[in-house]
Amino acid sequence: MSTSEIYRTLPEQIAAQLRQEVLSSKLKPGDPLREVDLSERFGVSRGPVREAFRQLTQQGLLVLEPNKGVRVAQNPSVEVRPLVVRLRRTIETFVLKSIFERITADDVSYWEDILADIKAACESNDVDALTEHDLRFHQAIIRSHDDKDLFALWQPIAMRMMMHYNRLDDIMDSYREHKRILDAIRAGDKTAALDALETNIQ
């Protein structure tokens, strides 16, 4: 595990590693995960692995199936995906609309830092890093709202959508889409920011 994770608990470190493997398709939908195997892999007891499973199940990346154990969640079906997209758009646009008038210079600076990471990931064609920074960008929007329960509603929807991140023919489009959102926020143009946000969520 990377030294950047030393301040996380053991379950958080294990969950972060497994989350990256799911989002990068190293672990595929339906793949089984076993506590004993992962406890040996990470050199820990089964307790931290079990807690990591709980966290990732809450995030929508794993499912616990009777008589089958823990498996990687399936992607939304063709019929269900449009609903998932609408739900995520509804939550994120609601939040951005609610917080828009009180976005601070510090908020913008934080988004600029994430945008720089998105650009670097795109330039190096690092889809794993892009997935991580894309989620950070949108998570920052959600966490800006006073009602923290919104994050619990948003997270499993966003995570499911980020599985197999491959909707873009040109990876730099992700940077351009996020830049349009931030440019509109900087300009104080709420309508343009909301439109750019909706366009990004597909």
pLDDT in tens, 135-158: 999 999 999 999 989 999 999 999
pLDDT at 4 over 50: no
Tell me the per-residue pLDDT of 160-176, one tens digit each, with 9 for 90 and over: 888 866 666 789 999 99
Tell me the per-residue pLDDT of 50-62, one tens digit each, with 9 for 90 and over: 999 999 999 999 9
Phi, psi values for residue 18, rounded to 5°: -65, -35
Contact present, 92 and 201 (Cβ < 8 Å) = yes
CA atoms of 23 and 17, how far apart (whole Å): 10
Range 29-40 average pLDDT:
95
Domains of the chain (ranges, CATH numbers): 3-72 (1.10.10.10), 81-200 (1.20.120.530)
